[in-house]
């Protein structure tokens, strides 16, 4: 595991680690364990993990807080918009992953008819699916009183 060194260094030095597509080279259980470790009380140096992922399974209210999950969505003109899960009113016991996959939070691809792809103009690189991703900022910082669910 190539990321073991950077993970351990971040946790022991209290630094910030940036990882693109965290799930790309890790088993899903290992990915969840790493995220949990940075969010744990054992992270006594306040290390932070910031990563991009397409793994909706990481949207687990037992693993992350709403202020730690961010979405990036491109519009029809290619402009990106970044917004937080905390921008949405959701119940404390909400199933973030399920609601995300049903489109409640946006950030999901708009898949069009694949038969039409050969006839689409070439000046639009991927017109059949708007790119999407999730961005997470994981640390063990407590929520501010204004960030708590009601």
Across the range 52-56, mean pLDDT stands at 89
Across the range 56-69, mean pLDDT stands at 89
Secondary structure E strands in the chain? 16-19, 48-53, 69-74, 80-84, 132-138
Better pLDDT: 15 or 130:
15
What is the separation of C-alpha 39 from the centre of its chain, rounded to a whole number of angstroms? 14
**pTM score, whole prediction:** 0.71
Q: Domains of the chain (ranges plus CATH)?
A: 4-142 (3.30.950)
Across the range 48-54, mean pLDDT stands at 92
pLDDT over 80 (residue 6): yes
Better pLDDT: 29 or 108:
29
Distance CA 32, CA 28 (A): 6
| Percentage, residues of the chain above pLDDT 70 | 72
Closest to 55 in 3D by CA, of 13, 21, 87, 25? 21
Q: How confident is the model at residue 150 (pLDDT cuts 50, 70, 90)?
A: very low
Residue 16 phi/psi, 5-degree rounding, is -100, 135
Distance CA 109, CA 73 (A): 9
Closest to 50 in 3D by CA, of 90, 105, 6? 6
pLDDT over 90 (residue 14): yes
The mean pLDDT value of the chain amounts to 78
Distance CA 123, CA 77 (A): 12
Across the range 49-75, mean pLDDT stands at 89
Max mean pLDDT range (41-50, 57-66, 99-108)? 41-50
pLDDT over 50 (residue 76): yes
């Amino acid at each position: 595991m190539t990321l073991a060194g950077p993970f351990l260094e971040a946790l022991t030095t209290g630094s910030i680690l940036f990882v693109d597509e965290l799930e790309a080279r890790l088993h899903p259980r290992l990915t969840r364990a790493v995220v949990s470790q940075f969010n744990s009380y054992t992270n006594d140096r306040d290390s932070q993990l910031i990563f991009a992922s397409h793994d909706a399974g990481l949207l687990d209210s037992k693993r992350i807080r709403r202020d730690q999950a961010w979405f990036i969505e491109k519009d029809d003109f290619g402009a990106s918009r970044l917004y937080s899960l905390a921008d949405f009113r959701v119940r404390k016991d909400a199933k973030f992953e399920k609601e995300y996959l049903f489109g409640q939070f946006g950030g999901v691809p708009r898949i069009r008819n694949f038969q039409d792809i050969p006839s689409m103009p070439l000046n639009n690189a991927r017109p059949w699916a708007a790119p999407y991703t999730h961005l997470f900022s994981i640390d063990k910082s407590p929520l501010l009183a204004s960030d708590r669910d009601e």
